[in-house]
């Protein structure tokens, strides 16, 4: 990754929570230092099919976090694929400090964003210094392949990290879906790196990959050059 890119965060759980408040503030601070605006973009696509009440829940949760960290919050209602083609949403991405995909159904995120101008704009913003984060489903969607959690089979991800696959909530997921997790880990055809990310824990790429949070990063298949130094918070 070149020095022009912003931070990239894969988060196991806890988006917009007080436990990750300092972490999200740091992602935003780093982007502002690169000339981006003090703006926190919420992308709720992964759970937006669950109804108006769920949409409002995430909207309120993100707004509360933005208030705690002193940022302007922008909620992008990307609920269907046609929304990712809308110029009014695309125009809000370029100067954003933090672009955050929250949890839900990762397959839905990939299907709605793949090959759209909005996804291109998000990549362009990240390449020019915006921080980009995905929590749970968001983290899964950034990879090359998405584990079949809500479906019976894996499906293509957005390919931002084509050689990485993510299992979020890893410290809980083995108890929730042990057979499915085991089958995904042992896929004989896989040549990718498979990562388990514990709850309230993040894997962050700046110049190197670093861990943040209470839990662990589990390298379940393949290899990852994980820096021994923990991701540093300078704004807390």
207/204 Cα distance (integer angstroms): 9
pLDDT in tens, 134-152: 999 999 999 999 986 666 6
40/73 Cα distance (integer angstroms): 5
pLDDT of residue 118: 98
pLDDT of residue 147: 81
pLDDT in tens, 59-91: 999 999 999 999 999 999 999 999 999 999 999
Contact 109, 101 (CB under 8 A): yes
DSSP the chain: --TTS--EEEESS-TT-GGGHHHHHHHHHHHHHTT--SEEEEE-GGGGGG-HHHHHHHHHHHHHHHHHTT-EEEE----SGGGGG-HHHHTTTTT-SEEEE-SS-HHHHHHHHTT-HHHHHHHHHHHTT-EEEEETHHHHHTBSEE--SSSSS-EE---SBTTEEEESSHHHHHHHSHHHHHHHHT-TT--SEEEEE-TTEEEEESSSEEEEESS-EEEEES---B-SSPPPPS--
pLDDT in tens, 89-100: 999 999 999 999
The residue among 153 and 85 whose pLDDT is bigger is: 85
pLDDT in tens, 18-37: 999 999 999 999 999 999 99
pLDDT of residue 178: 64
pLDDT of residue 175: 63
pLDDT of residue 25: 97
- Residue 208, both tokens: 């190197």
29/206 Cα distance (integer angstroms): 13
pLDDT in tens, 168-220: 999 987 766 666 666 666 665 667 899 999 999 999 999 999 999 999 999 98
- To the nearest 10°, report the CA torsion of 47, 37, 33, 29: -40
Domains, in order of start, for the chain = 8-221 (3.40.50.880)
pLDDT of residue 151: 61
Tell me the whole-structure pTM to 2 decimals. Answer: 0.92
Please state the rounded mean pLDDT for residues 160-170: 93
Please state the rounded mean pLDDT for residues 144-168: 86
């Amino acid at each position: 990754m070149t020095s022009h890119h912003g931070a990239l965060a894969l988060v196991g759980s806890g988006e917009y929570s007080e436990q990750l408040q300092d972490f999200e503030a740091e992602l935003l601070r780093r982007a502002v230092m690169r000339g981006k605006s003090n703006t926190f973009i919420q992308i709720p696509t992964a759970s937006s099919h669950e109804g108006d009440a769920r949409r409002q829940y995430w909207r309120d949760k993100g707004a509360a976090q933005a208030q705690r960290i002193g940022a302007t919050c922008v909620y992008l209602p990307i609920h269907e694929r046609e929304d990712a083609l809308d110029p009014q949403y695309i125009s809000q991405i370029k100067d954003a400090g933090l672009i955050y995909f929250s949890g839900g159904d990762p397959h839905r995120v990939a299907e709605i964003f793949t090959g759209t101008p909005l996804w291109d704009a998000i990549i362009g913003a990240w390449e020019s210094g915006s921080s980009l984060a995905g929590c749970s489903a968001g983290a899964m969607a950034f990879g090359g392949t998405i584990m079949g959690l809500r479906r019976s089979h894996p499906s293509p991800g957005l390919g931002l990290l084509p050689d990485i696959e993510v299992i979020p909530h890893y410290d809980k997921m083995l108890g929730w879906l042990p057979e499915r997790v085991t089958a995904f880990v042992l896929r004989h055809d896989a040549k990718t790196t498979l990562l388990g990310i514990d709850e309230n824990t993040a894997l962050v790429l700046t110049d190197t990959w670093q861990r943040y949070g209470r839990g662990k990063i589990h390298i379940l298949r393949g290899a990852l050059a994980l820096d021994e130094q923990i991701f540093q918070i300078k704004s807390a």
